[in-house]
């Protein structure tokens, strides 16, 4: 996908893909939506709401029964004890309704706790260290060193992000052994902390889902975890590879489906990316961007469908919405791992990336809207949409206020200018964007695990209150956009939390200036 045209588009030192009309920014996806995606959102709502229709009926029946006195019961018994047909029909109806309710009601999925890995201080990579190590490799031209410096300065990354030792070493030493070592440090570090926080025995875990896009050894990463923690032999184990930065929420959705069919289970989700074997040592600028943005990190999440865990769980999973645009060739190829002209492997970014991301986001948000927006917002949005699309009326489109649906937003920390555009499109405040911006600044783009660093930041700030709703949204290669909605089951006390922000949360937020170009 990386061609000479893309190369010319990157010569300015920023990732601002040029079109004949000028610089491409993230499209205003809320101003142009398709009715079929609104319909899809309502279809999901209706298809999963059968059990909700039974709740009012059972509530009315319970309220009516509460008004019946003992004399009424005795009189009813006198009337029915010689009427076998009536007794049978009433009993059958009660059993049928109760069975229908319990069979149609999905199991609750609870997030017991999660943990984010914080590397050792010897893995800290300042901008100066990054440029020094890049220069010492001897593989980058002076022009591309200058290009990387500009990208780094405008990326939104701070001075305390992390890279694995194999990349920081002089000279770099990327090999399979070092990559396995990085994976073990990240995964086991996060899981150890999670098991300590929850008190769950590793052998009680019945489902394991691991996602890592670019590093897929044999045996798999999930097998490494099974071996290290001696997990039970009948564990449902899944290893997801090549699915990009949105794979973390994809793993959550897969785990939700598994918890619907495996009762009384704990599920462990591990989201990470591996840097060691995926550092690009060539001079194709469309492939150099990933060096400047991606950093070391990972997260472990413990989910449960046990009703007894609701009392101690932090959140309940309310919705997951997945969008996949891979059927479109432009979307499929906008983030592509391939060899450059010198046979060096890297991940190339297409000039169509921002347009593709905007279309995927638009589809996902349009589908999610009917599930989460208040009815007043839905009516206003739907009325103006029908007027514009069906009756061709020239009226200003109504942009729903997602701040009425969510208290907290965790948007994948893919780059500073992308966050700027999303803030503008969703009409969010600096306060809403703070977790994403500070995560990008402190930890960089940790791929699929970035959403969990953002939620950890929100907890460390003491912002999570019982009943709060949090929206996690991520996008990645393929092209995919996934969302998850969480409902806080209790107020999170930061004094009792242990996460990677706690020792330095008083230093944040820091000022990160916005930019006009796309990072």
Active site amino acids = 245, 324, 408, 412, 445
408-411: strand order across its sheet: 236-240, 205-211, 266-273, 297-304, 110-116, 315-324, 480-488, 469-476, 408-411
So what's the pLDDT on residue 45? 55
Q: In the chain, what percentage of residues exceed pLDDT 90?
A: 66
Residues facing residue 472 across a β-bridge: 410, 484
Q: What are the tens digits of pLDDT across the range 473-503?
A: 999 999 999 999 999 999 999 999 999 999 9
Q: How confident is the model at residue 358 (pLDDT cuts 50, 70, 90)?
A: confident
Residue 13 inside a domain? The answer is no
Three-state secondary structure along 284-328? Answer: CHHHHHHHHHECCEEEEEEEECCHHHHHCCCEEEEEEEEEECCCC
Distance (Å, rounded) from C-alpha 438 to C-alpha 433? 9
How many other CB atoms sit within 10 Å of the CB of residue 184?
Answer: 14
Asked whether residue 7 carries a pLDDT value surpassing 50, the answer given is no
Q: Are 262 and 491 in contact (CB under 8 A)?
A: no
On the CB side of 177, CA atoms within 13 Å amount to 1
Q: Does residue 215 register a pLDDT over 70?
A: yes
pLDDT digits (tens, 9 = 90+) for 108-128: 999 999 999 999 999 999 999
pLDDT of residue 38: 56
- Quote the CA–CA distance of 287 and 405 in Å, as a whole number: 38
Taking 50 as the threshold, does the pLDDT of residue 213 lie above it? yes
**Facing residues of 125 across strands?**
161
Residue 50 within any structural domain of the chain: no
CB 301 within 8 A of CB 198: no
d(CA 38, CA 221): 38
Can you tell me the mean pLDDT for 288-301?
A: 96
- Give me the pLDDT at residue 394, please: 81
**Largest CA-CA distance found in the chain, in angstroms, rounded:** 98
CB of 480 closer than 8 Å to CB of 326 = yes
137 part of a folded domain: yes
432 belongs to a structural domain: yes
Decide if pLDDT at 144 tops 60. yes
Residue 31 lies inside a defined structural domain of this protein: no
CATH label of the domain that carries residue 399: 3.40.47.10
Instruction: Provide mean pLDDT across the span 190-216.
Output: 97
| Residue 75: inside a domain | no
Q: Of 56-65, 331-340, 400-409, which gets the smallest average pLDDT?
A: 56-65
**Mean pLDDT value across residues 188-198:** 98
Phi/psi for 318 (5° steps) reads: -100, -50
69 within a domain of the structure (yes/no): no
**Overall residue count recorded for the chain in this entry:** 519
Q: What is the pLDDT of residues 165-180, one digit of tens each?
A: 999 999 999 999 999 9
Supply the pLDDT for residue 3.
46
β-pair partners for 240: 211
Closest CA to 477 of 220, 316, 296, 243: 243
In whole angstroms, what is the distance from residue 431 CA to residue 467 CA? Answer: 19
What is the structure's pLDDT at 37?
56
Asked, as a colleague might, if the bond just before 267 is cis with ω within 30 of 0, I would say: no
pLDDT value, residue 380: 84
**Residue-level pLDDT at 438:** 98
pLDDT attached to residue 396: 75
pLDDT of residue 381: 79
The residue among 201 and 83 whose pLDDT is bigger is: 201
Q: Is 50 exceeded by the pLDDT of residue 9? A: no
Which of residues 382 and 35 earns the better pLDDT score? Answer: 382
Domain count across the chain: 1
Show the domain range for 452: 110-507
The pLDDT tens digits of the residues spanning 438-483 come to 999 999 999 999 999 999 999 999 999 999 999 999 999 999 999 9
Considering the domain boundaries, does residue 421 fall inside one? yes
Residue 23 pLDDT: 45
- 223-263 confidence digits (pLDDT tens): 999 999 999 999 999 999 999 999 999 999 999 999 999 99
Between 298 and 54, the higher pLDDT residue: 298
Q: What is the mean pLDDT of the chain?
A: 86
CA distance 399 to 449: 30
**In the numeric block, which tokens belong to residue 190?**
């996060």
| Residue 108 near residue 316, CB atoms below 8 Å | yes
SS3 of residue 23 by DSSP: strand
This model's pTM is above 0.95: no
Q: Which residues contact 367 (CB under 8 A, 6 or more apart)?
A: 37, 38, 40, 41, 44, 321, 323
13-69 pLDDT, tens digit each: 333 333 333 345 665 555 555 555 555 555 555 555 544 454 555 555 566 666 777
pLDDT over 60 (residue 424): yes
């Amino acid at each position: 996908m990386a061609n000479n045209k893309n190369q010319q588009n990157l010569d300015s030192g920023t990732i601002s893909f040029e079109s004949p009309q000028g610089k491409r920014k993230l499209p205003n996806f809320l101003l142009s939506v398709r009715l079929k995606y609104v319909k899809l959102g309502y279809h999901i709502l209706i298809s999963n709401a059968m059990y909700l229709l039974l709740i009012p009926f059972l509530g009315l029946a319970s309220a009516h029964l509460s008004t019946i006195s003992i004399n009424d019961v005795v009189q009813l018994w006198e009337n029915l004890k010689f009427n076998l047909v009536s007794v049978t029909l009433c009993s059958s109806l009660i059993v049928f309704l109760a069975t229908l309710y319990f069979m149609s009601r999905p199991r609750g999925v609870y997030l017991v706790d999660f943990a984010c890995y914080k590397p050792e201080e010897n893995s800290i990579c300042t901008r100066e260290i990054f440029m020094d190590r890049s220069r010492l490799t001897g593989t980058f031209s002076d022009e591309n060193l200058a290009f990387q410096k500009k990208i780094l300065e405008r990326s939104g990354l701070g001075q305390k992000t992390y890279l694995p030792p194999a990349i920081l070493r002089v000279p770099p030493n990327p090999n399979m052994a070092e990559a396995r070592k990085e994976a073990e440090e990240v995964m086991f570090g996060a899981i150890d902390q999670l098991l300590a926080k929850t008190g769950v025995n590793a052998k009680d875990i019945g489902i394991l889902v691991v996602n890592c896009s670019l590093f897929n050894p044999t045996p798999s990463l999930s097998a490494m975890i099974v071996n290290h923690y001696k997990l039970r032999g009948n564990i449902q184990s899944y290893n997801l590879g090549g699915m990009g930065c949105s794979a973390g929420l994809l793993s959550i959705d897969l785990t939700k489906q598994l918890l619907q069919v495996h009762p009384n289970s704990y599920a462990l989700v591990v989201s990470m990316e591996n840097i060691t074997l995926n550092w690009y040592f060539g001079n194709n600028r469309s492939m150099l961007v990933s060096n400047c943005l991606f950093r070391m990190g990972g997260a472990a999440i413990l989910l449960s469908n046990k009703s007894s865990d609701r009392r101690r769980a932090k959140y309940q999973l309310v919705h997951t919405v997945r969008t996949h645009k891979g059927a479109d060739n432009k979307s499929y190829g906008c983030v592509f791992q391939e060899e450059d002209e010198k046979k060096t492997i890297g991940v190339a970014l297409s000039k169509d990336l921002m347009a593709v991301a905007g279309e995927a986001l638009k589809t996902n948000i349009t589908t999610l809207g009917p599930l989460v927006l208040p009815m007043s917002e839905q009516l206003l949005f739907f009325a103006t949409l029908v007027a514009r699309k069906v009756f061709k009326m020239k009226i200003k489109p109504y942009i729903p206020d997602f701040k009425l649906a969510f208290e907290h937003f965790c948007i994948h920390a893919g780059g500073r200018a992308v966050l700027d555009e999303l803030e503008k499109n969703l009409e969010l405040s600096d306060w809403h964007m703070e977790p994403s911006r500070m995560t990008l600044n402190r930890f960089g783009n940790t791929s699929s695990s970035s959403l969990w660093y953002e939620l950890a930041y929100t907890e460390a700030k003491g912002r999570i209150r019982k009943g709060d709703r949090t929206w996690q949204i991520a996008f990645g290669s393929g092209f995919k956009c996934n969302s998850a909605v969480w409902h806080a089951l209790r107020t999170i006390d930061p004094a009792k939390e242990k996460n990677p922000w706690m020792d330095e949360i008083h230093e944040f937020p820091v000022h990160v200036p916005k930019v006009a170009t796309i990072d």
